[in-house]
With several copies, the nearest count.
Chain A
């Protein structure tokens, strides 16, 4: 393990029902660097992220992660409780006492909706609430699966800004996105 590598992937392959999704991928993620995973729908981007997270086991190869590794993950699903209010969701995420909570609630403009149930929020507002977990993270590696989906231009810009800042602060970032974005990143293309 090199000094500031957070994760190293060695020759990982993944098959599902004998269909190869990807084959012999190797890469590593260092603090301060971003990796943008691209590929068509169904090419295995989300699967790759789940392998990195350790949820799914690769068919071949291995993932080594730094001892200090702390991951913040946001997938296609928001992991919110639809029937609870925003306030309760924030409580469940244990972010209610976070010092920067107010700052970011203001930023995404959801402060006045604190007592609205999540299911009444608009699609983009729900995504923003889910992103609060990212904005207030205390991890050193961010893994985001299409974080820009459903966001309006302003919020897209804010998120880009935020992520770029996190990179400057030395955190690692792996993300997928079909929507072009301005984050400086290495590219990993998946083709099957």
Chain B
């Protein structure tokens, strides 16, 4: 619990880290209709693609410095020395990020979907879908950033994109399923299943990776 409190404090003080990605998400979603001619049905077609990409990008931005700063200023060493369960610490950290960034973004996703499609049935499932997918993306990018720690986020993106793209494929398929009302739950279940594995495995892997970095 102590870890949770500190992580929250840190993020609260550094507004940019959590507000930034949310703003970028918002920017993309606003930018989208601006760049298309404003016919309702045309708007809808590309809409969900843009939505998933926006979530992907904002989560990428959110995690960009998740460890770099602590690594550079030496805090990470201190954490490793003191904390008995480093993995749990990482898991909680990702959770805090998700709480402060993933949840607002998911809410915004729902709002934008409703605003665009004017279809409540279709928009409501967007909320759980983006909750889950944002958490998955966060975890994946955290992995990438731990790998590329002081090497810059690009390497991280390069390295994790291949892992993130399949999720996008599933999301795309899921939206089609939703629109044609076939078998939508199985996609949610598939994502939830992946998430439950990822949520446990990634913090463990990341803790090993970070320890290797610090050596």
Contacts and interface: CB of A to CB of B under 8 A. Distances in A.
Contacts of B14: 81, 83-84
Decide if the interface of chain A is mainly helix, strand, loop or mixed. Answer: loop
Interface in B3-27: 6, 9-10, 13-14
Interface in A169-184: none
A83 B15 CA distance: 11
Given A53-B81, A92-B10, A94-B2, A79 B75 contact: yes
Given A73-B77, A79-B75, A92 B6 contact: yes
A141 B211 CA distance: 22
Interface in B61-87: 69, 72-75, 77-78, 80-81
Interface residues of A, number: 23
A82 B13 contact: no
Instruction: Classify chain B's interface size.
Output: 20 to 34
B78 A79 contact: yes
A88 B151 CA distance: 15
A75 B74 CA distance: 8
Given A91-B13, A92-B10, A119-B150, A78 B80 contact: no
A56 interface: yes
Contacts of B13: 81, 83-84, 88, 91-92
B215 interface: yes
B151 A82 contact: no
A56 to B, nearest CB: 5
Interface of B: 2, 6, 9-10, 13-14, 69, 72-75, 77-78, 80-81, 150-152, 211, 214-215
Q: Please list the 7 inter-chain residue pairs (A to B) with the smallest Cβ-Cβ separation, ordered nearest first.
A: A77-B74, A79-B74, A83-B152, A79-B75, A56-B215, A79-B78, A88-B13
